[in-house]
Amino acid sequence: MDLVSIRIITDDVERLVRFYESVTGVAAVRYTPAFAELALGSCTLAIGHTDTTRLFGSDSARPADNHSAIVEFRVEDVDREHARLQPLVDAWVQEPTTMPWGNRSILFRDPDGTLVNLFTPVTPEAIARFS
């Protein structure tokens, strides 16, 4: 089994797509005005409009209501990304911090409130986990 995609449901696809394009540097493929994907090396980040959830059943997903998942991206230099994202991010949760498990990370919220973590493995043990 492979994890191939994470999908975020939103009422404003274009705003969220522009945000994640700026964060990742990856251009989204917009299949329809209600659905887009950012194909990253390890997984695809999909962004779908609330209207698409009608295909799954009423109230199957609610936009801007995530309080349990964190979207995480491994980056080459988290401190450099922190500086680059200053003008883009409105809601910082954690400034650059080295975590007990060996990753240096920053946490912020996307425009819908989803928690985003950018991290760089910095200890030998953390680096080995991603080798």
Break the chain into its structural domains and give their ranges: 1-60, 66-131
Q: How far is CA 91 from CA 33, 75, 109, in A?
A: 26, 20, 5
Instruction: Identify the CATH assignment for 66-131 out of 3.60.130.10, 3.10.180.10, 3.30.470.10, 3.40.80.10.
Output: 3.10.180.10
**Which of helix, strand or coil describes residue 25?**
coil
What is the tens place of the pLDDT at every residue in 9-53? Answer: 999 999 999 999 999 999 999 999 999 999 999 999 999 999 998
Query: Can you give the pTM of this predicted structure?
Result: 0.94
Residue 19 is given by DSSP the state H
What is the tens place of the pLDDT at every residue in 74-112? Answer: 999 999 999 999 999 999 999 999 999 999 999 999 999
Tell which CATH architecture fits domain 1-60. Answer: 2-Layer Sandwich (3.30)
What is the tens place of the pLDDT at every residue in 55-68? Answer: 887 778 889 998 89
